[in-house]
Each structure stands twice: as C-alpha cells, then as structure tokens.
C-alpha cells in the first residue's frame, strides 16, 4: 500500500446503516488491488483498510470499521468473525462425567453465503453456475491474494437474493476484524418487545458497557493510524440510533475535535410493520437527530430515497435506468451505497486528494452544517460517445435525483457545491469534432473534462462556488450487488445505442458510472423548516407522551426545536429569504 495516507475510521450505527455500509464495503472490496505489476489505481484503499496478519501468517486487509447493531441482527455472522479463528481448544476440558449438549440449528444460509463457505474450504464452484464475464483478480481483505472474494470477482454469478436477505450480513462478502462488531444486547432487532424506537433510549445507551466497548474499539483503530484525518459516521436517523449517534458524534467532537467528522443520517423509504404512531416516532427522531448530529459534526448530510422525512412523503425518486424496489432494503441501500461511493471519493484518492476538513469547510460555511446530496445513478452516458455529448442531452435539467429528500430550487441559488463524476473509463471527456467546423454546442469546444463539467453545472448555478473532481475508475459491481439495472445498459453501465434483440441474454452490469453533488443552499433551509413544522404540528405531550417518558426532557426538546428553527434561518440568501412559504416567514417573526 501507499507509504503515506490520511486514514479514516468508519462507524455504522443501526441496521439500515449497516445495510448501506455492507453494500458500500463490498464496492470498496471490489476496487482493492495489490498486484505490483498491475496498473496503479486512482483510489487509495489504505485510507479505509488496515493491514494485519492471521495466526497462520497470511496478510489480511480488513475495514477500519466499528459497526453497532442490536441483539438478533447478525444471524449467521459471528460477532468476532472467523478471520483469526484458530479453532476451538478442547485441551482444557477435564470433566469425566456425562455431558448433555443442547444444540440449536443455525439459520439457513442463502446461495451466496453457501458459495462463500465452499470457497473458504478451497472448493471450486462449477463453471456452469456462472456467466462468463471475467474480471481482474482482486484481493478482498481475506487470507491471501488468491482469496475467496478474488475468485468471486473473476466471475459474475446470477445471484437472486431478493427473497432471502433478512439482515445485512446475508450479503456481506468481506472478512471483518474481531473488534469491528458491537452488539447492543439491551434491545432486540426483531419482535415487539425491547425495541430501540425513541431518541432518548439511544441517548441513554452510551454509558456503561456500551461506552466502554466503543472507547476500546476506537482506541484500537486510532492508535494504529499514522495520520488520522477523521471519521465518517453512517447513522440510522429514524429510530433510537439517532440518539446514540448524537452522543457518539458528541464524544468524537470532544475527543478528536481537530479531525473531520462527516456524518450521514440514513433513513429507509419504509419500515416493516409501521404504524401511524411509529411514523410519528420516526419523524421526531429525524428532527432531533438532525439538530444534534449536525452540531457535533463537520457536516451532516441526510441520505434517503424517501420523498420526505415528514409523515406524508412524496414518491421516491425514479432513476431512468434503474429497476429497483424502493421499499426493499436490499435494493434501496444498494442505490445509496453506489452514490456514497462517489460522494466520499474526494478524501480517498491517491492524487489530488482533499482532506475531510477541507471538504467540510468548503460546504459548511457560516454555520450551514447541513448539506444535501444528489446523484445520477447511473450517469447516462452512451457507450463510445463523449462527455459533451452526454451532458448536452441533459440541457433542460440536471441528470441527478435527490438523495436527501431535498429538491433542488431550480433558480440557480446555491452557497456551495462539490460535484463528482466517476466511471467514464474508456470514454472521451472532450469532443473530437473536426477543426474548422462549428461545434454543435459550447461544451464541444472545451479542451478538458473539468472545463466541460464546470461549464455545464455553471449553466444551472452561474454564481455558486463550485468544486469538482473527475475519476475515470468506475464503481465495480461484483456479486452479490443486485442486478437492478435496465436493459438499456451494457455490461460497463453505459447506454447502448441499439436495443437488445428478442431472446438475447441481458448483460450483467459489472460497473457503473456515477455523478453526484453535495450542495449547501436555500433548498436545505426549506427542508429544515419542513422538519420544524412537522414536529410542532402535534402536541407531543398528548400525541406521544411515551416518547418524552424515555427522554429527552420537554425543555430539551423545545430547545432542540428552537435550534432547528435558527438552523433553517442560516440558509436565507442575501435578500433575506429562503425558499419558504409565507406561513413559514410568519413563524420566524
């Protein structure tokens, strides 16, 4: 790995955040390469991965990760993992009497996990099970270069896990360090009793054994870093983990205040077995969690495919070249992870890397620490065409969709923006029109991909500060990433010029170009005002007294709402107003 890097420690707090995180780590795993004779990659993997050794002396690369979840959320995954398992030592058993053993049958494994077990045992999977789609050999943080995951990466199997994925470990393809997983035994993942539903429950958790475990894991990962640039926190926003995340980010700020803390508040489109009362809980958790996590982070970005975080959200965004089920966590988390793979690239690059604090300082200006995310997943680029051609086809509207339940204003107002385009490998960034001929659009006359993208975005945001980066490497989609792409895409994720003939096999999409944007603008103020309005509509003491019975106190709750109102006011433009209704203006007076 590189001799110098700025390490990042990742925390995943909550079940849906672990869904997103599992897809995201699978994507990172697919990009790992330690072949000294291979071409150098653009992404510095040791920003996220740590190097170690098994008891047998094999080199390992495991995520620098702390993942917290509830009792019953792991199913077939052992909390300590099996990467450093030396086997059970029975030499200390001295009892000579009779023994009675009660053994519970383990949960059934899906076909993907069964294949992982076979490859771990050194078995060769039948070639007939696979599509012939060779991939470069990769290391995946297991026990050698020729690992389980590198074998899976060479072929694309037609896994269909939609009916079998119950928890995030059902599609985890990498080995985790024994210090990664932390199970909170006070609350259950399933069932109706002992559920982590309210903000106050999560706040109260960070004490005693939970706090000790977290501090121990943090110290382990921090102390082995040469230059820790900061933390990225993926935290469930709609349940009690919002309270836990608020305390965790506060602790990080107190202990590591000079480091970047980039927090992503993650929420699914829907929850299983939801009720109107639970939906109200979700909205209140989102509201208070946003206030607290934003105040303790370098920036806070809500990440969701839900059309809004209130009780009556609009429809999830429709991506033109995806066929996904927004209500299925396995699908929606894959879309968010693919976008997050591009959103987090600035501080993970080998060249022209931008440290976390600089990304945050660029966007979180004048107290505006909440930002909104947008993404074109995948970016609509025709195979064999150029970037000017692709962008010229999107002159009426930007190609990305909201990933934060926050619509763009459409009037060019924005305080700051960070755009990222990755995955154009093999395509031209500038036009190849003949000299002496008039270019079809102004974009076709520019001489670099950066100029093309800059000119295009500035046509929508002419006065907004803009930072942008281009990375040619695509996101590599190896098993078991769901095949949620339309038939209009080729194997590389680009648009096909011709439709597939009837009966032709649909190509397995093995990579995808993605375009994303992080924005700070008046639209975020509208989003915050909507949260404030939703939380103040109902009398919380009458509607959900149980929410307050578990904390916070009523005075703390009212203080959080006032902070939220003031936070929304920070997003007024120079003329004194944000994109708000007249009733909102009256509320502020």
Two tokens at 429?
Answer: 């960034």
- Please report where in the chains the tokens 């030396």 appear, as a residue: 86
pLDDT for position 126: 55
Predicted confidence at residue 538, as pLDDT, reads 77
Residue 486 is predicted with a pLDDT of: 92
Return the pLDDT at 91. 45
- What's residue 106's pLDDT? 65
- Answer whether residue 80 shows pLDDT above 90: no
Q: Would you state the structure tokens that stand for residue 559, as one six-digit string?
A: 């203080």
So what's the pLDDT on residue 151? Answer: 60
Report whether pLDDT(130) > 50. no
Of 511, 560, 517, which Cα lies nearest the Cα of 535? Answer: 560
Q: What is the mean pLDDT of residues 53-78?
A: 87
Statement: residue 528 has pLDDT above 90:
yes
**Residue bearing the bigger pLDDT, 507 or 169:** 169
* C-beta atoms surrounding 523 within 10 Å: 23
Confidence of residue 138 (pLDDT cuts 50, 70, 90): very low
pLDDT score of 394: 94
Higher-confidence position of 473 and 121: 473
Q: Angle at the Cα of 515 (from 514 to 519), degrees rounded to 5?
A: 140
Mean pLDDT of the region 46-75: 88
Residue 274 has pLDDT above 80, yes or no: yes
Between the alpha carbon of residue 29 and those of residues 110, 141, 142, 447, the distances in Å are 20, 7, 10, 34
More confident site: 136 or 463: 463
What is the mean pLDDT of the segment spanning 284-290? 96
pLDDT of residue 586: 44
Burial of residue 222 (CB within 10 Å: 0-12, 13-18, 19+) is middle
SS3 category, 568: helix
Looking at residue 290, its pLDDT comes to 97
Which of 66, 65, 62 lies closest to 83, judged by CA? 62
**Burial class, 391, CB count within 10 angstroms (exposed 0-12 / middle 13-18 / buried 19+):** buried
C-alpha to C-alpha distances, 317 to 351, 372, 464, nearest whole angstrom: 34, 15, 25
Q: Give the pLDDT mean for 489-498.
A: 91
pLDDT of res. 359: 96
Six-digit token string for 551: 């904390």
**Distance (Å, whole) CA 398 – CA 393:** 10
pLDDT above 70 as % of the chain: 84
Closest CA to 176 of 259, 258, 81: 81
The pLDDT of residue 585: 43
Best-predicted range by mean pLDDT (135-149, 232-246, 302-316): 232-246
| Radius of gyration from C-alpha coordinates of the chain | 24
In the predicted structure, residue 88 carries a pLDDT above the cut 50: no
Q: How many CB atoms lie within 10 A of CB 174?
A: 24
* pLDDT at res. 418: 97
Residue 149 has pLDDT above 70, yes or no: no
Helices 241-255 and 208-223 pack at an angle, to 10 degrees, of: 50
Tokens representing 414 are: 């924005």
* pLDDT of 35: 62
Cα–Cα dist 132/119, whole Å: 18
């Amino acid at each position: 790995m590189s001799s110098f890097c700025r390490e990042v420690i990742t925390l995943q707090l909550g079940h849906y955040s672990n869904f997103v995180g599992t897809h995201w780590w699978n994507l990172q795993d697919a990009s790992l390469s330690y072949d000294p004779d291979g071409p150098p990659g653009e992404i510095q993997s040791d920003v996220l991965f740590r190097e170690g050794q098994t008891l047998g002396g094999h080199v390992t690369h495991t995520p620098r990760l702390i993942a917290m979840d509830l009792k019953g959320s792991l199913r077939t995954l052992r909390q300590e993992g099996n990467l450093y398992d030396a086997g059970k030592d029975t030499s200390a058993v001295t009892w000579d009497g009779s023994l009675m053993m009660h053994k519970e049958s383990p949960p059934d494994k899906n076909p993907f996990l069964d294949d992982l077990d076979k490859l771990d045992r050194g078995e060769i999977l039948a070639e007939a099970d696979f599509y012939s789609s060779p991939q470069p050999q990769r290391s995946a943080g297991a026990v050698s270069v020729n690992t389980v995951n590198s074998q899976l990466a060479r072929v694309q199997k037609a896994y269909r896990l939609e009916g079998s994925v119950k928890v995030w470990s059902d599609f985890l393809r990498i080995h985790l360090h024994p210090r990664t997983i932390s199970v909170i035994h006070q609350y259950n993942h399933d069932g109706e009793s002992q559920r982590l539903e309210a903000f106050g429950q999560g706040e109260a958790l960070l004490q005693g054994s939970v706090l000790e475990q977290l501090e121990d894991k943090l110290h382990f990962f921090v102390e082995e870093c040469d230059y820790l640039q900061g933390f990225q926190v993926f935290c469930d926003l709609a349940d009690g983990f919002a309270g836990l995340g608020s305390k965790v980010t506060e602790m990080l700020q107190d202990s590591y205040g000079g480091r970047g803390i980039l927090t992503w508040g993650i929420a699914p489109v829907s929850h299983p077995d939801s009720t109107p009362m639970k939906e109200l809980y979700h909205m209140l958790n989102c509201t208070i969690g946003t206030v607290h996590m934003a105040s303790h982070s370098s920036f806070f970005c809500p990440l969701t495919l839900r059309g809004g975080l209130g009780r009556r959200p609009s429809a999830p965004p429709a991506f033109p070249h995806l066929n996904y089920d927004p209500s299925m966590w396995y699908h929606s988390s894959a879309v968010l992870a693919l976008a997050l793979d591009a959103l987090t690239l600035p501080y993970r690059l080998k060249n022209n890397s931008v440290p976390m604090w600089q990304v945050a300082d660029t966007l979180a200006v004048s107290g505006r620490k909440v930002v909104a995310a947008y993404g074109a997943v995948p970016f609509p680029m025709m195979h064999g065409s150029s970037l000017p051609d692709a962008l010229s086809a999107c002159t009426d509207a930007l190609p990305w969709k909201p990933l934060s339940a926050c619509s763009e204003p459409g009037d060019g107002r924005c305080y700051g923006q960070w755009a990222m385009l990755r995955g154009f490998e093999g395509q031209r960034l500038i036009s190849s029109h003949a000299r002496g001929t008039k270019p079809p659009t102004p974009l076709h006359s520019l001489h670099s991909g950066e100029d093309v993208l800059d000119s295009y975005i500035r046509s929508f945001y002419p006065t907004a500060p803009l930072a942008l980066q281009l990375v040619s490497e695509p996101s590599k989609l190896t098993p078991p990433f769901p095949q949620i792409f339309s038939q209009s895409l080729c194997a590389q994720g680009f648009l096909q010029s011709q439709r597939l003939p009837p009966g032709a096999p649909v190509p397995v999409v093995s990579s995808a170009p993605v375009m994303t944007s992080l924005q700070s603008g008046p639209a975020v103020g509208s989003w915050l005002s909507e949260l404030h309005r939703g939380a103040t509509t109902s009398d919380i003491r009458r509607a959900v007294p149980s929410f307050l019975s578990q904390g916070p106190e009523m005075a703390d709750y009212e203080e959080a709402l006032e902070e939220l109102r003031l936070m929304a006011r920070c997003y007024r433009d120079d003329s004194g107003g944000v994109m708000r209704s007249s009733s909102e203006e009256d509320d502020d007076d």
